[in-house]
Amino acid sequence: MSNGVYNSIEHRATVNTTKERISLAMFFNPELDADVGPAKSLLTNKGDPPLYKTLVMEQYLKDFFSRKLNGKTFLEKMKIRNDEES
């Protein structure tokens, strides 16, 4: 959604033998007919074209869970330039 403007950090956990660790998973799921892709507010400059595909959420989920990635991460598969290279 950030079109590459904001990068996620790698997530890791360290085991601590003296303290209990609690993890919370939080999910955000748009409606199945909602468009999922780069936020329009981050594409305001002509020099900032979308770097990733926009899909309907239902298709995004089907593609994500099909795992036909051929050695690529799903994020790499969503890049528009990958369509041109294929």
Give the count of domains, the chain. Answer: 1
State whether residue 4 is helix, strand or coil. coil
State whether residue 34 is helix, strand or coil. coil
Q: pTM value? A: 0.62
pLDDT band per the 50, 70, 90 thresholds, residue 35: very high
DSSP annotation string for 35-56: EESS-GGG--STT----B--EE
- Is residue 41 situated within a structural domain? yes
- Is residue 59 situated within a structural domain? yes
Give me the pLDDT at residue 82, please: 44
- Is residue 20 situated within a structural domain? no
**Which residues on adjacent β-strands are paired with residue 52?**
79
Say which range, 44-53, 63-72, 76-85, has the weakest mean pLDDT: 76-85
Q: 37-55 pLDDT, tens per residue?
A: 988 887 877 667 888 999 9
Range of the domain at 42: 35-85
- Is residue 57 situated within a structural domain? yes
Distances (CA, A) of 48 to 18, 23, 37, 42, 68: 48, 36, 14, 8, 29
For CA atoms 6, 65, 49, 28, give the dihedral sign. negative
Q: Is the confidence at residue 65, as pLDDT, over 80?
A: yes
